[in-house]
Chains A and B, each alone.
Chain A
């Protein structure tokens, strides 16, 4: 076999992957263009900034969720972790902890929750669906117990202003997506453990017999997911200025949807970082556009559902051909 044909095939394959990424980006742009013509308020600075803020948090959740899904797992707890972490952050700030300490402790809570998921899956042998479903409901309960069902108001302007401010023309929240996305990309596609995540998702036994530390890899995936969720909890607390355990209801489904729209396979071993990011902003644009067009918010849910079916179906067609 000549080297020419080799590199040609490889190039064709990787260009097909990029093509899918570009198709998603194209879809996003097409929606934006249509909305700019059909509504007066879409293409205003205020709205675009708002859209970026809305999409950012789901985008970060989706990146964490993607690590887990690539290992053929699922993390249903991310929404609850976000809500729980708003409570932790608010409680710490009202008890005169510094912002730095608050951030460190809250992220530490995320790490601990992820480790617990890893423990449940690796050591106790529980299915990921079950252990993360259990934490989903328990964390909301613990959060409500801490606040006694009430909402904690955050009186710390430095903290709350962060989410409203901009930096070089982009909202701070959007910068946070880049802050998470770039290292996540390097980790997943260019590091050893990033590859192990794919290997575990493809064939756990083959990975183990190849010397991959499968347990550590599973721990890592869930810890990353929960830590991303804890980070989003901090951002949400800053944005709404309160700590409330019932916040971020249903965000886990939006995160999973973004990931799947972005080309992640629920059968494992297929996924990227840029896909879920674009997926999250597609969902945010749909919601934003529907609001501006005065579409009944119930319709938004239906449209999201149909869109998931459509995009994943086209992705399946593409894979079957390839």
Chain B
């Protein structure tokens, strides 16, 4: 029936007619002052479906989530919950209906136990006292039932970010949830953890829970969802039945640009060796020998926790090496501090934007210029003009979407924040650039811009170490690909020399 229908709107109507929508939006709209964050959108969520939402950063996905969870109030339009018009004006009201959200960055208490977090705000109390033993047992039973091999009595902060994400999901699933929103849940998960999460999502679906799934990873959308809606620049451009569409169509709807144009790869003749490690060991990795030449991208692929980030942090002087040696442009060096690494000509754009990359409550211009204040300081003072010029030039070159250099970084979208993490090193005149997961949580359009930026650096004679957990990215971009597993460099391949399957099995170790 609908399978042969090429028109999304008609397919939408067909499915909507099949059952009563649990939540329906009519002309939902949100404006922030002059900014039109969400243009009037009509959308119906069917009970028990997994509905994916895709779009570039800044396309209006976060706005939509915030509207659905009552965090912000709409400018106009109507919302119907099981056919009844509702205000949905406070988070409390949304939770009363059974609408919950699991966010990309876990918002739970790291200093409490897993069990305490799962029952937070809904504690089991007997005679005015917390029944901790009882709660731990219950929590453990729920976790076992969900098939997560996680202890309920440990502190949440002792788990990995991926495991914390699973706990957050479990927490939402036990609260009488009927409508659950996932905001990029797999950004920090390993494959096993992601598989566990998908199993949980499918179980929730069987129980009749409606799932809204937001992700940049299109393969997840195809693996999981029944229908997919596409947002572009605040407009809901369409809804498709997932099995009727394909990646090419989704991407063209999202950005009007084809897949080939995203992975921008240029080949440059390999120059002199910039850096070489010989049996380098340090906290989290051991015995790594590799070298990077000018004009070359060396990719490091592996699961999260495989020791790639630890390796580059040691190159950058953040951690001390425990063995082996580093040779920088023919001379053996002992890198003891970040400053020393920077003075040699190494730049690092770290993995976590919020924790390591940015001062998010300070202005854009401040963040861009932070590494180069020593260069532009005159007589101990930072001249306003140099500060301003450099910041404006960078904002222009990188096409950062911001109201100006004085805007706080926290007001920017994820992709634009990432541009600043990378952009702050471009003026620095480094020769070796290390990018640790440069495109996590970044939309396709910004990804393409970042890849083009890498090519520009190579053309200027720099070398690049690129870390990614997303195989297509390192596969398409790296001239030489190293696979890391449990702190060791287990394999190396030339450009396109091995298949995805080979590389993946090397990383997992089967």
Contact = CB atoms under 8 A, between A and B. Distances in A.
B339 A9 contact: no
Contacts of A14: 406
Given A9-B403, A192-B373, A192-B377, A207 B316 contact: no
Contacts of A5: 403-404
A190 interface: yes
B360 A209 contact: no
A190 B381 contact: yes
A159 to B, nearest CB: 32
Nearest to A198: B362
Contact of B362 (A10, A13, A205, A269): A269
A6 B339 CA distance: 33
Contacts of B85: none
Nearest to A267: B361
A210 interface: yes
Given A190-B382, A192-B374, A198 B359 contact: yes
Given A9-B404, A9-B407, A192-B382, A209 B318 contact: yes
Contacts of A198: 359, 362, 366
Q: Which of A5, A192, A211, A213 has the most CB of B within 10 A?
A: A211
Interface stretch (B20-28, B106-114, B273-281, B350-358): B350-358
B424 interface: yes
Contacts of A206: 350, 355-359, 370
Contacts of A123: none
Interface residues on A, range: 20 to 34
B390 to A, nearest CB: 14
Interface in A38-78: none
Interface residues of B, number: 35
Interface string B367-406: 0001101100100111010000000100000000111111
Given A10-B406, A186-B381, A190-B382, A207 B350 contact: no
Given A10-B405, A213-B339, A208 B359 contact: no
A130 B89 CA distance: 44
B404 A203 contact: no
Nearest to A10: B406
10 contacts: A7-B404, A196-B373, A199-B359, A203-B354, A205-B356, A206-B359, A207-B359, A209-B318, A210-B338, A269-B361
Interface of B: 316, 318, 338-339, 342, 348, 350, 354-362, 366, 370-371, 373-374, 377, 380-382, 384, 392, 401-407, 424
Given A5-B403, A205-B356, A209-B348, 13 more contacts: A1-B402, A6-B405, A186-B381, A190-B382, A190-B384, A192-B381, A198-B362, A203-B358, A206-B370, A209-B316, A209-B356, A210-B370, A211-B338
